[in-house]
């Protein structure tokens, strides 16, 4: 439900964009790589739960590394975009949230060091707490959205790319144990 002054059109637009990036584009990519829709859906669901660890599921489903990487990256991008847009809209159209945001940014964002280099704390943040927490931290501390998105997605993609060969070796080792 939207409050007074909160345009439902803007929220709907951002929801549609996030749904396309994180929900429809993976199926389109899967179509071009000839991956069954069920496997794409499983990998998308695993990404929501395991984040970059979902590449193990893609490897177990015998998906190509490229499509596994593309699907988990698209899902993460859609989630990050959706969260940042919802946070921005709530801070813009809710006076109560705007006051809270102003207090928080005044308290923690006043340090020039945190303002300039704090966004790079998202690198370990993405590895530890992932894409469900880092957009909220970005919004609360008022970091530049473009830089924060690049740092978050760069970290996510680097972790996914690192885990792809690891997952292949692990799945081959497990299947070798099974005989």
Domain boundary assignment for the chain: 8-178
How far apart CA 149 and CA 145 sit, in angstroms, is 6
**Signed CA dihedral, 9, 15, 21, 23: sign only:** negative
80-136 residue pLDDT tens: 999 999 998 888 888 898 898 888 888 876 777 777 788 999 999 999 999 999 999
Q: What does the pLDDT look like over 18-64, one tens digit per residue? A: 999 999 999 999 999 999 999 999 999 999 999 999 999 999 999 99
pTM: 0.90
For residues 101 and 91, the answer to whether their CB atoms sit within 8 Å is: yes
């Amino acid at each position: 439900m939207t409050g007074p002054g909160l345009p439902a059109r803007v929220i709907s637009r951002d929801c549609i964009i996030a749904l396309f990036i994180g929900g429809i584009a993976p199926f389109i990519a899967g179509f071009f790589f000839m991956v069954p829709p069920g496997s794409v859906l499983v990998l998308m669901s695993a990404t929501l739960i395991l984040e970059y660890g979902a590449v193990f599921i893609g490897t177990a489903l015998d998906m190509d590394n490229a499509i596994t990487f593309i699907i988990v990256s698209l899902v993460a991008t859609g989630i990050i975009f959706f969260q940042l847009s919802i946070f921005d809209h709530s801070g813009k159209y809710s006076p109560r949230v705007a006051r809270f945001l102003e207090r928080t940014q005044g308290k923690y964002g006043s340090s020039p060091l945190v303002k300039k280099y704090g966004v790079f704390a998202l690198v370990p943040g993405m590895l530890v707490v992932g894409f469900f927490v880092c957009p909220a931290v970005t919004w609360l501390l008022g970091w530049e959205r473009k830089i924060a998105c690049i740092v978050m997605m760069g970290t996510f993609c680097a972790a996914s790319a690192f885990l792809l060969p690891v997952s292949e070796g692990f799945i081959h080792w497990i299947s070798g144990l099974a005989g």
